[in-house]
Amino acid sequence: MAHATAVAQPVVLADVIPSTRVRDVALVVGGALFTAACAQISIPIPGDPVPITGQTLAVMVCGAGLGATRGTAAMALYWLLGMVGLPFYSDGDGGIHAAFGATGGYLIGFMVSAYVVGRLAEARLDRRPIAALPLFALGQLVIFAIGVPWLAVSLDVSASEAIALGFTPFILGGIVKAVLATALLSSAWRLVGGR
C-alpha cells in the first residue's frame, strides 16, 4: 500500500520559501530594512510632530507576510537599529531621542501590531480581501492605541489634543494603506495558490 506524503501548506507567505534558520534571519533583517525604506516616504504635517509615512504599510506587510514571531522580530530589530543611531526612522532620524521621543509610542506599537497582524494572518485572515481589509485596519488601530497616549504624555497635551495631532490626520492614509496591504497580500496568496 502506497503512502501519500502530505505537503505542508504555508501558514504565512514567508513559509513558501523552504525553512531554514538562515531564511528566518534573512526575512527578519529584510523586514527591518523594508520598514526603514518605507519610513523615508515621509510627508510632514505643519505643526504636527508625527509625519505621514509608509512605515505602517510596512508593518502590515511584514506582520502578515512573516507571521507573528518573525514580524515582531523584524519590528524589534528596526526599532533597535534606529535607536542605536542608524537613520532608519522617518526623515532619516535615529537615536535614543527618536526611539523614546514623541513618536516612540508608534515605534513600540509597530511591534505589537506586527504580532497581532501576524497571529491573525496565521489564522488565514490575510488571504481574502473581505477578511484582510479589517485585519489591516485593526493592525493600524493597534499602533495608534499605543502611539497616541505616548504622544500625549511626551508632549504633555490632553487626550483630545493628542488625538488631533496623532490620529485624526492619519485616518485617510490608514484606510489607503489598509487597502494597499489587502491588495498586496491577497494578490500574493493568489500567485502562490494559497487559500
- Specify if 59 maps to a domain: yes
- Specify if 6 maps to a domain: no
pLDDT per residue as tens digits for the range 40-77: 998 888 888 888 899 999 999 999 999 999 999 999 99
- Specify if 123 maps to a domain: yes
91: alpha, beta or left? (left if phi > 0; alpha if psi -120 to 50): left
Residue type, 98: A
Mean pLDDT of 147-158: 97
- Specify if 50 maps to a domain: yes
Phi, then psi, of 43 in degrees rounded to 5: -120, 110
A 10 A CB-CB count for 193 gives 9
183 touches 64 (CB < 8 A): no
Whether the pLDDT of residue 136 is over 90: the answer is yes
82, 136, 160 from 102: Cα distances, Å: 15, 24, 16
pLDDT winner (highest mean) among 21-25, 72-76, 166-170: 72-76
Mean pLDDT of 3-14: 70
pTM of the model: 0.91
Nearest C-alpha neighbor of 43 from the set 32, 29, 56, 62: 56
Structural domain count, the chain: 1
- Specify if 13 maps to a domain: no
pLDDT per residue as tens digits for the range 101-113: 999 999 999 999 9
pLDDT per residue as tens digits for the range 86-135: 999 998 999 999 999 999 999 999 999 999 999 999 999 999 999 999 99
Per-residue DSSP letters for the chain? -PPPPPPPPPSSGGGGSPP-HHHHHHHHHHHHHHHHHHHTSEE--TT-SS-EESHHHHHHHHHHHH-HHHHHHHHHHHHHHHHTT-S-SGGG--SHHHHSSTTHHHHHHHHHHHHHHHHHHHTTTTSSHHHHHHHHHHHHHHHHHHHHHHHHHHHT--HHHHHHHHTGGGHHHHHHHHHHHHHHHHHHHHHHT--
Whether the pLDDT of residue 140 is over 70: the answer is yes
What pLDDT does residue 193 have? 81
Give the pLDDT band (50/70/90) at residue 195: low
What is the chain's mean pLDDT, rounded? 92
CATH code at position 47: 1.10.1760.20
- Specify if 128 maps to a domain: yes
Whether the pLDDT of residue 6 is over 50: the answer is no
Give the pLDDT band (50/70/90) at residue 3: low
Question: What residues make up the domain containing 41?
Answer: 18-187
- Specify if 1 maps to a domain: no
Mean pLDDT of 176-188: 95
Give the pLDDT band (50/70/90) at residue 5: very low
Phi, then psi, of 86 in degrees rounded to 5: -65, 145
